[in-house]
Chain A
C-alpha cells in the first residue's frame, strides 16, 4: 500500500463539510463510506502520509486528524480521489445526512474497459443516441447528484444524463462523437457497476406505452366508479322518487362507460380464452358484470330501483387495480449484456481467416487451432474448474478464456464461426426460442373458478325452476339473477394478484427475483432438483484449503504468483493479501504470514517464466525457486496441490480445491426430507463430481460428470418427458440450455448474466439459501390461495343463500361484495406482512458470502 499525497484542497473540504472525516466518540470514520474503523478489518491510512494509523494513536493526533482524511480501505480512497480530481467532492456534502455508501467492493472494479459497448450492433435505432444503463448501488440523493454530473465530467461524450433512482436506471444521451465505453468506465470507477439495457428503443417504448395505457384505464375506471357511487348514495339514503330517477339515469350512463370502456379487457380475455378452448377466472366475473349491467339497465327503463351500477363499477376498478400492481412487478428483470476483456478485437476477424492470438483474454469466436499450444479456461461453457491444454487440431469455442500460452508464446488459429454462428450464440438462440413455447398448465384459480361456475349454474337453474314451477316468474328471475351476481368469484380474482404481488415483493426483499410468477404454482409439482456443480454447489473458484509455507518464503511466493494468470496463482495471491490485510485479527496464521509489502523490495526474483501445465519458476537469491505440480499425488485425492521447491528441496506445499458452499449440505438434506430427488450434472471431471456427491449422500445414478451443455439439456429433457418436473439450479452459460428445458430454473447469484436472463428465478443474494427460500415462498403462496378460497367461498355461500331466499337487494350487494373483497385483502396482507418479521424468513442468508 503506497502512500498517496494529499490532494490539493483536501483540508478545505473538511472545513466546509465539517464531517468529511472526523472522530466520533473516539472512533475513526472513513471519509468515503462513513463507516467506523472498528468494524472494518483493515488498516487505517491517512492521505497526509501517516501510514497505518490505528485507533490507538488517535488520541495524540486528534488535532491533526481534523485536517486529515481517513479511509478504511483502498477502495474508498480510490473513489474519493477520483471524485476529488473531477471536482465532484460536493458529493460528500450532499450525503452527510443521507444513507451511507458501502465501501466499494472489489467486484465493482472489474477492470473492464467496456470497449465492446461501442460496437455498431449496440447503436440504438434512434438518431438521438440514447442509452439506458442499469446501475448497481445507486440509492441516495448524493448518488443522484453525482450521476447526473456526468455531462460536466465528460462534456465531449455526454449531452444529457437522467437517473431514475427508484429503478436505478440511467438514461444517457451521447454527443455525436461520444463513446459509451468512456461513460461506463467513469461510472464503474465511481463504484457503481453499469449494465447496458439491451431492449431496443421500440421494445422500451412499447412497454412504456402499455404501462401508460393501463394507468389511464385504471384512472378512468376509478373516476367512473367514484362518480357512480356518488350518484348511488341518494338512492340508499331514500331520496324522493323523481330525483331517484335522475340519479339512476346518470349512474346508468356512467356504468355503460365503465363496462364497455374500462372493462373491455375482460371481454377480450374471455373471448381469447374461449378461442383457445380454455377457461379463465375472468369468465364468471364477466358473466356477473354483464348480467348485473343488463339487469340494472332493464330496471332503469322499467322505473325500478334495483340497480347494481355501483357494485359492478367498483368491482371493475378493483380488478384493474390489482392487475396493474401485478403487471408492474412482473416487469422487473433486466436485459443485460455480458462484458469481457476480449483477446482479439471482434471486428478484426473473419470466418476462414487464420489469426495469431498473443494476448490473454476471452474469445468471441469459434476456432480450430493450427499451431501452438495454450491453456484455456473453459469453465464458462463447460464448468471445468481448471484450465485445459489445447493443441493443434483442437477446437476452442467462444466464451473460452485463454490464460496462458505454450512455449512459442503465440497461437495460430483458424476462425470457423463468428457472431451468431458460434456454438455459444447457437445455445443462446435455442434458449431464446425455447423460452416462448413452454406450455403452461391450467392455473389453480382457473380450475377453481370453473368448478365454482358449474356449481353456481346448477344452483341457479334449480332456483329458477323451483320458483317458476310455482308460477312466480318475477321472483324466479330476480332471485336467479341476484344469485348469479353476488356469487361471482370477485374476491378470489382480487386476492390472487394481491397475494402474488406481495409474495413477489417478499421474495425480492429476501433476494429472489422471480421473473416467472407461474413458477410458484409449479413448485408443488417439482419432483427433482438438479444442481450444477461448479459455481453452484461450490464457490466456483480455486481456494486454498491448506498452506504450509515457511514465513521467509512468503514475499517471494507473493511475487512469483503475482505475475501469473493461472487460477491457482490467483488463489494463492488472494490468500496472501487476505491474510495480510486481516492484521487486526489475531489469528495464528496472520502472525505467521503477515509481512509488509515494502519488505519485498523492488524485485526479489529474476528470470520469471511460466511452464504451461507444470508451474512457474524464477531465480530467487541465486537459486531456482519454483512452484509446480507435485510429481506424485495421493490416490483418490480430489484436491489439487502445488509444491514450492527451492534449490531442489521441497520447502512447502499448498493444497487447493473448489470449496463446497457451506450451506449446500443443509439445503440438500432439507430437499431430501421433502421427498425431492437430487441430481448433479457437471462438466467437471468425474472423480471430483462423484466425491462431491458422496459428501451429500446423493445416489450415484443421478450424478453425471464430464458432460457438455447440450448433453445436460438432453438429460433434463429426458426427466421432463418422463413426467418428472425438474427444478434446475445453475450459474453458468453451460446451464442455460438445460434451464430452458426444466420446468423451473434458478440462477444463483454471481452467475453469468445471460443465465440470469433465462432463469425463471434469479437469486440476488449469494449462496443456495434461495432454493429453500423459493420452496418456502411457494408453500406460503399456496396456503394463501387456499385461505382466500375458503374466505370467498364462505361469503359466496352466505350471499347465495340470501339471494335464493329473496333477501339480496342492491344495497346488501353493495355491502357484501366489497366486504368480502376487503376481508380477503386484509387477511392476505396481514398474513404476509407477518411473514416479513418471522425468524424463518430472516435467517435466509446462510453463510453464502464468498
Chain B
C-alpha cells in the first residue's frame, strides 16, 4: 500500500498538467472554432494541384499530337 504515497501525488500532478494545458489551449483560442480547422486541413495545397494539372495537360497534348 505504500505505493500510494507515490501514486496519489502522481495522479494529482497529472491532473494539474492537464488543467494547465487546458487553460493554455483555451487562452490560445483553440476552442473558438471547432468545425472549420477540421475541414481546412483536408484541403490540398494548391501548388501541388497546379503541378498535377500541368502534368495532365502535358499528357493530353502528347496524346493530341499522336492522334
Contacts and interface: CB of A to CB of B under 8 A. Distances in A.
A208 B39 contact: no
A223 B4 contact: no
B40 interface: yes
Given A212-B27, A223-B15, A227-B15, A144 B36 contact: yes
A144 B49 CA distance: 18
A215 interface: yes
A145 interface: yes
B37 to A, nearest CB: 10
A89 to B, nearest CB: 12
B19 interface: yes
A651 interface: no
B11 A230 contact: yes
Contacts of B8: 246, 250
B48 to A, nearest CB: 12
Contacts of B34: 166
Contacts of B67: none
B40 A212 contact: no
A94 B39 CA distance: 11
B24 to A, nearest CB: 10
Interface residues of B, number: 27
Interface in B1-36: 1, 4, 8, 11-12, 15, 18-19, 22-23, 26-27, 29, 31-36
Contacts of B53: 16
B26 A212 contact: yes
A732 B9 CA distance: 64
A216 B23 CA distance: 6
Interface string A157-168: 000000111110
A223 B23 CA distance: 12
B22 A227 contact: no
A513 to B, nearest CB: 20
Given A223-B18, A223-B19, A243-B1, A166 B26 contact: no
Most chain-A Cβ atoms within 10 A of its Cβ — which of B11, B18, B33, B56? Answer: B33
Contacts of B59: none
A503 to B, nearest CB: 23
A223 B16 CA distance: 8
Given A141-B42, A230-B11, A250-B8, A163 B36 contact: yes
Nearest to A98: B39
Max chain A Cβ within 10 angstroms of own Cβ: one of B18, B40, B42, B56: B40
B51 interface: no
Nearest to A141: B39
A708 B12 CA distance: 68
Nearest to B27: A212
A90 interface: yes
A166 B36 contact: yes
Contacts of A178: none
A778 to B, nearest CB: 31
A211 B32 CA distance: 9
A567 interface: no
A227 B12 contact: yes
Nearest to B22: A219
Contacts of A94: 43
Contact of A208 (B1, B12, B32): B32
A432 to B, nearest CB: 28
Contacts of B39: 141, 144, 165
A198 B5 CA distance: 57
Chain A interface size, as a band, is: 20 to 34
Contact of B49 (A90, A148, A166): A90
A211 B33 CA distance: 12
A556 interface: no
Contacts of A167: 33
Contacts of A216: 22-23, 26-27
A138 to B, nearest CB: 10
Contacts of A250: 8, 12
A220 interface: yes
A141 B43 contact: yes
Nearest to B1: A243
Contacts of A145: 43
Contact of B36 (A164, A227, A246): A164
A214 to B, nearest CB: 9
B19 A166 contact: no
Contacts of A163: 36
B4 A243 contact: yes
B29 to A, nearest CB: 8
A144 B4 CA distance: 52
A474 B10 CA distance: 38
A215 B36 contact: no
A211 B40 CA distance: 24
A550 B35 CA distance: 57
Contacts of A240: 1
Contacts of A246: 4, 8
A219 B4 contact: no
A148 B29 CA distance: 19
Nearest to B23: A216
B31 A215 contact: yes
A256 to B, nearest CB: 14
Contacts of B26: 212, 215-216, 219
Contacts of B12: 227, 250
B16 to A, nearest CB: 8
Contacts of B1: 240, 243
Contacts of A208: 29, 32
B33 A166 contact: yes
Given A208-B32, A243-B1, A219 B15 contact: no
Nearest to A208: B32
Interface string A138-153: 0001001100100000
B36 A165 contact: yes
Contacts of B22: 216, 219, 223
* Chain A CB within 10 A, most for which of B12, B39, B46, B49: B39
A228 to B, nearest CB: 11
B18 A166 contact: no
Interface string A190-220: 0000000000000000001001100110011
A171 B53 CA distance: 31
B35 A166 contact: yes
A90 B48 CA distance: 13
Contacts of A148: 40
A219 B11 contact: no
Interface in A64-100: 90, 94
A144 B40 contact: yes
Given A144-B36, A246-B8, A219 B19 contact: yes
A472 B12 CA distance: 41
A165 B35 contact: yes
Contacts of B56: 16
Nearest to B28: A212
A215 B39 CA distance: 24
A219 B8 CA distance: 21
Contacts of B49: 90
Contacts of B42: 141
Contacts of B18: 223
30 contacts: A16-B53, A16-B56, A90-B46, A94-B43, A141-B39, A141-B42, A141-B43, A144-B39, A144-B40, A164-B33, A164-B35, A165-B36, A166-B33, A166-B36, A167-B33, A212-B31, A215-B31, A216-B26, A219-B19, A219-B22, A219-B23, A219-B26, A223-B19, A226-B15, A227-B11, A227-B12, A243-B1, A243-B4, A246-B4, A246-B8
Interface of B: 1, 4, 8, 11-12, 15, 18-19, 22-23, 26-27, 29, 31-36, 39-40, 42-43, 46, 49, 53, 56
Given A94-B43, A165-B35, A220-B19, 16 more contacts: A16-B53, A90-B49, A141-B43, A145-B43, A163-B36, A165-B33, A166-B35, A219-B22, A219-B23, A220-B23, A223-B22, A227-B12, A230-B11, A246-B8, A250-B8, A250-B12
The 10 closest A-B pairs by CB, nearest first: A166-B35, A165-B36, A164-B33, A141-B39, A219-B22, A223-B19, A165-B35, A215-B26, A212-B26, A227-B15
